[in-house]
Structure 1
């Protein structure tokens, strides 16, 4: 083996602020000062808890066991300073690679929020919806009345083909080296996208191609963005909690006549709070990922005669407004509707690179 390429995530940095460098984790390093991460101890803890659960629960409690293990994972992640299990385990993977790599050269690719393809194999290729895509789908369904964030914040998106191209070029450059190299594949240092521009682009798309129900065009509303969590909680109370309390009161008095409405509102509230819990740390992160190594790699493609023209990973070439309204947003909605088995409206807006 000449080289090992590992795809991680830039969000192994957690919720740190400021400029985040392309550096490796040290053995035992965590995001909380004074804490030491022993991966073997963590694995043993998982085995012990799972054994205890299997002894205490019946065979029919597999769902409960899964839920308990998720709770344990989140608890341990937060204990060491990571916001969720995904970033926690990605960081552990990087630490293990550093421990056992020996003389093998390691290239670690840390993309930020990966979106649909910019060019290859064609604009808008996507497989699955995650992070920012979930917010787009919720926006389309008008299930996103408000969210946490500042319109002046920067959203760190990068198309999938640029991540792949960067990985291919990195392999070509480092295949005969002896170092561990880390690349942040991100966009803000080269071509920043503000929250305001992102929201405006989504709104423009939904205005051009609105939802239609029973022949009636549904109005698209802009979500409110709150900088402060306290104001956000007040908004949730007004939109969800108070109406739900009133409905449940009437439902109790009228022997369950409003059960369907209560269940629907409760489902929407649970979905929305889950959305905030899972994705708020990513779109509105205050950290900025340094891409000095990636800038060097783009220059190195010319020296090493790597075809950088065909393997494009320069975010400066992206017009975010055109890309979002003509490529990414329709691609996300098409995939989401395909998974649900529903029909997606079509937009006549043309994409130009």
Structure 2
């Protein structure tokens, strides 16, 4: 029986190597995953690893995967990590929205968002914003303020991307706020087509590999749905402008970090710069980790206005002379742009 030890560190390289090692045993009769060394575990690690093990099980139906060393891992069990990949231990995903500044592992069907929108006569994006605001209030234990606005905006824009671009049937996420460290981490992953295939819908973008796709996705005004010749309702504040990921990455880089993975590649951004990461395996879909430094957050509208103006200048350099406007939704929360309708 092949044995794979879960790393003691949440270091992203250690986690990606763990997933690659699991993948290397594809086709074997039995694989044992030993969680006895698991130490501190954070939201991104949970969503990424749970999806990887679940996908491994689905594509290796003749391989029996068993686990050991997980009984005393109470935090991970409470966050529904183990149940998320099929191990009958701890809470089930979707067990509750969360309390005490955390949101446990949740699997949200995209069809649920659509059904709620139809039932209420709303747009799906409005439903996403409402859910994002609720999650932001749970994490911050506040009802208003800079942190609530920044979290609402960031969660909303990532979930919008999943709904509008990924063709995924679900959005999986969990999150944690550590007030003593001025740190919030939000992790969101999908089971969709990935950035490379999504951006290939834009005939003006050259994407040869997953690294290209991630770099393009992080640039302002780059979108799979907004390009010359595409039909766009610019009167719709939710129209896709390609500024969402760019804006979020800028917020996260204020003392935090931003990680975007798809296919076989990842890119990590922080105040020190950019790091390319070879995952060592294939990720079906897209995974995002947002880490916000709560001590660096100011009024959302002011932060986004600055990033938007700088993004316009970058967009002009990319696309040539011209103005490339971010959609109203990419520039503010809906409660703000609805005032201007």
TM range, normalised to the smaller chain?
A: under 0.3
If asked which structure has higher relative contact order (CA below 8 Å, sep 6+), I would say 1
Give the TM-score taking structure 2 as reference length.
0.27
Give the TM-score taking structure 1 as reference length.
0.26
| Structure 1 or 2: more strand by fraction | 2
| Structure 1 or 2: more helix by fraction | 1
**Greater Rg by CA:** 1
